[in-house]
Amino acid sequence: MKTIIEPFKIKSVEPIFITTVEERVQIIKDAFYNPFLIPAEKVLIDLLTDSGTSAMSSSQWAGMMIGDESYAGSPSFFRFENTVKDLTNMPFIIPTHQGRAAEKILFSVLGAKGKMVVSNTLFDTTRANVEASGAIGVDLLCPEGKLPNVPSDFKGNLDIEAFKSLIDKNGADNIAICILTVTNNSGGGQPVSMQNIIDVKNICKLNGISFFLDACRFAENCYFIKLREKKYADSSVEQIAKEMFSYADGCTMSAKKDAFANMGGFLALHNEDLSNKCKNLLILTEGFTTYGGLSGRDLEAIAIGLKEVLQEDYLKYRINSIEYLTNKLIKENIPVMQPAGGHAVYLDAKQFLSHIPIEQFPGQVLVTALFIEGGIRAVEIGSLMFGKYDSMNQLIPAQMELVRLAIPRRVYTQSHIDYVAEVIIEVYKKRDALKGLVITSEQPVLRHFTAKLAPVS
Ligand SMILES: *Cc1c(COP(=O)(O)O)cnc(C)c1O
């Protein structure tokens, strides 16, 4: 088989500033061992997130010039609205400045206080918005999804039996909504099968529970369905996406992911009453209903990006490039989430740094080491991000200790990825010398963004 090439060529480039190991030791210290606090110009390969970091296409940039900045009724809004309507077949489309704004609005108006919000895995901002509304987030990930190094086709699936027993135990009235994250970002970018979506939908319908999608990576998820779910092998990704959305009562979306936009998001809904409540809050916090928190040019970029992401040459390259890096690491016996996810490579820090206790954040230690060794910026998805404290102030650890290397869309070439593999392999060889970290300062919500850490003494 021939090399799968990047299905684009480069028109405009951005410089990468090279630093030395000595400089990076100081940079990470100055950033309190938290990659979110490192100035971006001091990063060589930035794999912190695939959110808002995509390279836009020449068509999207052209669309930016066509963007109409009218306060009300901009033609850019209608192009955006039509595209989202066509994709989701939902009648009420509400633009927001990013995904979490859609979440904030949805969970504020749902009135789910004291009730449960069920998911395969709630993403960090989603969980925070659920909890801020007074609701209780419940993750019911399938058992195979919790085993990083055991490959399986749909490790993002929701555990159907667990969902049924949760309903039996608590009563459907106490479950406000079920929201499936496609692909499951916090659980390794693993896809959810169409069968699972249908099963979840049916349980929700039977019990009068609303069924939503967190659709940030819908196209990547649908491409996996095409590859792995026999029934869909001959369907186009667009057809698969339309079927997937047809099962949902609504969705939240961050356009910073699969819409290749640098900013943006939306809520799409079937229910008019809910939509009206959301629009009222939108006007209060985001902006008028035909722009949300966005410029007209952003709406154009999203509308164009939502079409581009369904191009299968792109998705083939995208999924293969993640697999390429994952396979290089597997070859070196490096503990990595298997199979490869849709947007990122996830290292299993619990195994990678098995000598570091969970209370000393092995994931964060690995993030720090990758930065020092090669200037790569990754993010911990483990007990720093999701850990809580019990009444004795002891850490309740997260389910997994992962380090996510998120690959921005259409940004890095194969040689960048080869370099990333070399750096990880080098850190793996030196892993025994790495030492733990402790938190020296933290905030009560989403602490990983701003926490300060220091090496254990
Ligand atoms: C990024 C993301 C969000 C939040 O979107 P923002 O645009 O960053 O606010 C929600 N859910 C998932 C699965 C995400 O990946």
Please spell the DSSP secondary structure of 270-320, one letter per residue.
Answer: S-HHHHHHHHHHHHHHT--TTTTT--HHHHHHHHHHHHHTT-HHHHHHHHH
Structure pTM? 0.94
Of 367, 427, 377, residue with least CA distance to 41: 377
Q: Work out which ligand 1 atom sits closest to the CA atom of 255.
A: 7
pLDDT tens for residues 284-337?
999 999 999 999 999 999 999 999 999 999 999 999 999 999 999 999 999 999
Indicate if the pLDDT at residue 399 is higher than 90.
no
pLDDT in tens, 205-251: 999 999 999 999 999 999 999 999 999 999 999 999 999 999 999 99
How far, in Å, CA of 360 to CA of 357, rounded?
5
Q: Is the CB of 181 under 6 A from ligand 1?
A: yes
- Is the Cβ atom of 386 under 6 angstroms away from ligand 1? no
Sign of torsion over alpha carbons 119, 121, 125, 131: positive
Q: Indicate the average pLDDT of the chain.
A: 96
pLDDT value of residue 177: 97
Specify the ligand 1 atom closest to the Cα of 185. 13
CB 183 near ligand 1, within 6 Å:
no
What's the CA-to-centroid distance between 332 and ligand 1, angstroms? 32
Alpha-carbon span 295 to 303, nearest angstrom: 13
* Residue 212 beta carbon below 6 angstroms from any ligand 1 atom: no
Rounded Cα–Cα distance for residues 60 and 298 (Å): 9
Q: Is the pLDDT of residue 162 over 80?
A: yes
**Ligand 1 contact via 99 beta carbon (within 6 Å):** yes
For atom 4 of ligand 1, the residue with the nearest CA is 99
What pLDDT does 186 receive? 86
Give the integer Cα–Cα distance in Å for 356 and 197. Answer: 38
Q: What is the pLDDT of residue 149?
A: 83
Rounded to whole angstroms, how far apart are CA atoms 1 and 328? 17
pLDDT for 102 beyond 90: yes
Q: How far is the C-alpha of 401 from the C-alpha of 448, rounded, in Å? A: 14
The answer to whether the beta carbons of residues 428 and 370 sit under 8 Å apart is: no
Side-chain-facing half-sphere of 45: CA atoms under 13 Å: 25
Does the CB atom of residue 254 touch ligand 1 within 6 A?
Answer: yes
Contact 218, 244 (CB under 8 A): yes
The predicted structure's pLDDT at residue 64? 96
Q: What is the CA radius of gyration of the chain?
A: 21
Q: Which domains does the chain have, with CATH numbers?
A: 21-50+311-455 (3.90.1150.10), 58-308 (3.40.640.10)
* Whether the predicted pLDDT of 362 surpasses 90: yes
Residue 141 identity (one-letter amino acid): L
- Residue 253 above 80 pLDDT? yes
